[in-house]
Amino acid sequence: MSDPLVSRPANRDQASDRFFSAYDQLIHDTINYHHVPAVSVAVIDGDSTWLKAYGMAQVADELVQAEKVNTETLFNAGSMTKVFISAAISLLVDDDSFPEVQWSTPVSQLLRDDFVLSDSHATQVVTIEDILSHRSGLADQDDAFMGVHAKKPDTLKSVTRKLRYLPLAVPPRTKFLYCNAMYAVATYLIETLTNMPIRDFLRQRIWTPLGMKNTYFGLDDVIEHQLLNKVAKGYGWDNDKSSCFEVDHPRQPEAAGAGEMITTTGDYALFLRCMLQRTGPISAAGHEELVKPRMITDQDPNPFWSHQLYSMGLEIENYHGEQVIGHTGSTTGFACQMVFLPRKNWGFVIMGNTHVDVMGKTKIRWTLIDDLLEVPASKRFDWNAYAARLEKELEAATIEDLYPNLPDSRLPLTVPLTDYTGSYWHAGYEELTVDLESGRLEVDASDRCWRFKLLLEHISGQYFVAKKVDIDTREEDLLKAEFRIDSSGSVGQLGIAFVADSKDEIIWFDKIDS
């Protein structure tokens, strides 16, 4: 009896079915346990590529019928876009028409008026390879950027110009700090130098030469090609209802390059084969640079692993003596992973249509690698136990975590709650408006790149906790929040702990009306 959850095209690849038969049960069990509606998987093994898809690209409800996923289904690749931006810059480094573009070129020399950081020394020294290796000193501050729902959405240029108002967390090249904004800068750099939209440059210079005919940049590109029906629906998971819910496909052109690529596992496998065999359109020198480690990440090594290193859109580590190179991607409604082992001429891509699952895909990925390397059971990592431990460690912070030294007798508000309402301004984060709704202070930030709301709860004195609720994913987190009273007794500033990876985590907004 055929499995209704497995894609069965009429001209199915019998060899792929034979390869995946050993993993069908693992994949089914894993995606069911982790609430993943669908995954598409590609495995490169020498000269062969195996493809198979499992589950539903669209889940049935009272309005729509279920639709099975297949190997031609399109998924959002999230941060697995980043290595394509680095590869694109490698083409400019090799191009005699752009002699000024080298990995060690300071970005400010190429984007003189636009690329200015909050520290003048950092502005002068941060290079192309720094921004691609997450070692610029700027922590992730995606909440500063205005999305497509804003009255005036940010662009690649305006995101780049905003960086001068955002505090650096550390000096350049001293700490690995993942930063999506720097890939927006890199994309803006490519578009500025070539006078081409990034999707056209990638399509002409990388995708078409590799035969990647099912790859697009952003949802608008998909719509223009009239292929929206080929894109998997993205989903979240409601624990209370024990059911998935559909989310809107993310559209984040202001952060293009950090993500936005939409593709199939088969197309992405063509790129991995290029990386494995070091073929064109990337030069030999370009291949060498793309996998050269540039920074130690902050990830603690698991047993049998080395410390993880980072290049330019690629994570590099050793596992049981074998070099493993890859990256993950996650965005609203989608999560994916890719990895390749150069010495084994082997690669793996998995894409799914929910953002809530990371460990499930990780377990599938490393099970296949363990089998490839013939790792004995006693030396295989227990991903189930690790997932349970990680889930507990990643639980949202509590009020006590944020404010461990609260007084036994908490201080009352200094001024009436209505005095805290109004608009607040920060040059980098722009305007936040505090409203009073049902006796509680709230901020509607649905105009941001990642849409959210802040629900403020008074703790003591001028200190609050802001519950940050993602409007699309429904995920919640707690942040420190604080108001400052000026010398006249009026509310003068609002501070929100938007920068998690910095000792100066609080961003201060000035009150601009009453």
Tokens of 254: 């202001």
Mean pLDDT taken over the chain: 92
Q: What is the pLDDT of residue 514?
A: 52
pLDDT of 298 > 80? The answer is no
SS3 90: helix
Q: pLDDT: is 500 or 296 the higher one?
A: 296
Q: How many CA atoms lie within 13 A of 450 on its CB side?
A: 20
Cβ atoms within 10 A of the Cβ of 239, count? 9
**Is 80 exceeded by the pLDDT of residue 62?**
no
**Cα 330 to Cα 501: distance, rounded to the nearest angstrom:** 19
> What share of the chain in percent tops pLDDT 70?
95
The residue-averaged pLDDT of 376-387 equals: 85
Write down the pLDDT at residue 6.
Answer: 42
Phi and psi based region of residue 438 (left: phi greater than 0; alpha: psi -120 to 50; beta: remaining)? left
> Is the pLDDT higher at 392 or at 251?
251
List, as one string, the DSSP characters of 439-453: TEEEEEETTBSS-EE
Using left for φ > 0, alpha for ψ between -120 and 50, and beta otherwise, residue 375 falls in beta
The confidence score (pLDDT) of residue 403 equals: 87
Reply yes or no on whether the pLDDT at 16 is more than 60: yes
Architecture of domain 402-511: Beta Barrel (2.40)
Residues 6 or more apart in contact with residue 131 via CB below 8 angstroms: 107, 179, 182, 183, 185, 186
Question: What pLDDT is recorded for position 162?
Answer: 98
Q: Above 70 in pLDDT, residue 185?
A: yes
Number of H helices, E strands in the chain: 16, 22
Indicate the DSSP class of residue 229: G
Q: Does the pLDDT of residue 2 top 80, yes or no? A: no
| b (16+ CB within 10 A) / e for 110-130 | bbeebbbbebeebbebbbbbb
Q: How many CB atoms lie within 10 A of CB 38?
A: 27
Model confidence at 300, pLDDT cuts 50, 70, 90, reads: confident
User: Hey, where are the domains in the chain?
Assistant: 402-511
**Predicted local distance difference test score (pLDDT) of residue 11:** 45
How many residues in the chain? 514
Q: Which residues pair with 467 in a beta bridge?
A: 455, 478
Q: Work out the average pLDDT over 33-50.
A: 94
Q: Which residue has the higher pLDDT, 70 or 303?
A: 70
Please, which residues bridge with residue 334 across strands?
Answer: 331
pLDDT tens string 451-481: 999 999 999 999 999 999 999 999 999 999 9
Judging by beta carbons within 10 Å of its beta carbon (0-12, 13-18, 19+), is residue 178 exposed, middle or buried?
A: middle
Distance CA 447, CA 208 (A): 35
Rg (CA), the chain: 24
Determine the pLDDT at residue 49: 95
Model pLDDT for residues 394-445, shown as the tens digit of each residue: 666 788 888 888 888 889 999 999 999 999 999 999 999 999 999 999 999 9
The whole-number pLDDT of residue 309 equals: 96
Interval 253-291: pLDDT, tens: 999 999 999 999 999 999 999 999 999 999 999 999 999
